[in-house]
Amino acid sequence: MKLTTRQDIEAPLDVVYARLTDFDHFERMAMRRGAEVERTDRLKTPGVGMAWRLKFIFRAKPRTVLVRFADAEPGSHLAWAFDSPSLEGTAKIELVSLSARRTRMTIAAEVRPKTLAARLVLQSLRLAKGRLQRKFDVSAGKLASMVEEQFRASAQG
């Protein structure tokens, strides 16, 4: 299953890229939401190859997902790969400068089943794809708003 969305952000492209690669911030966000986050790589500086093991409760069951920062081109795109016992997939963010202070962010996520049970769950999600797409759009909008707010806060002082 594939979902895509597009958001325009009132911030320069380099600022948006820097905010999206602030991995410590996203780790703290996940922990505040109840996830256990563990870095599994040995990289000294942030970059391609970073990896995390996320443990969280979803639909009353403990889940574990391995996330790997797979690809990056500063000022252009970011990509992650994720793997769990039942699902695998990718997420890619592409950035395009619309003007000196405006950036378009396009997010594409693809999920593939690894088990029969996961295939059935994804099939039922396909039936509710409109609702799922709206939730995806809202989440991307929240991410865009967060980047804009951080940019405004840093620009003011």
Decide if domain 2-156 falls under CATH 3.30.530.20. Answer: yes
Q: Which residues pair with 79 in a beta bridge?
A: 71, 92
Dihedral angle sign, alpha carbons of residues 86, 115, 5, 80 = positive
- Measure the CA–CA gap between 72 and 48, rounded to whole angstroms: 7
Q: Among the residues of 21-81, which ranges form H helices?
A: 23-32
Res 155: pLDDT:
81
Q: Enter the pTM of the model.
A: 0.90
User: Block means of pLDDT (10 residues each) for the chain, length 157 residues?
Assistant: 97 94 94 95 90 93 96 94 97 96 97 95 92 96 96 84
Res 34: pLDDT:
94
- Measure the CA–CA gap between 84 and 58, rounded to whole angstroms: 13
**Domain range list for the chain:** 2-156
Gyration radius of the chain's alpha carbons? 16
Res 44: pLDDT:
86
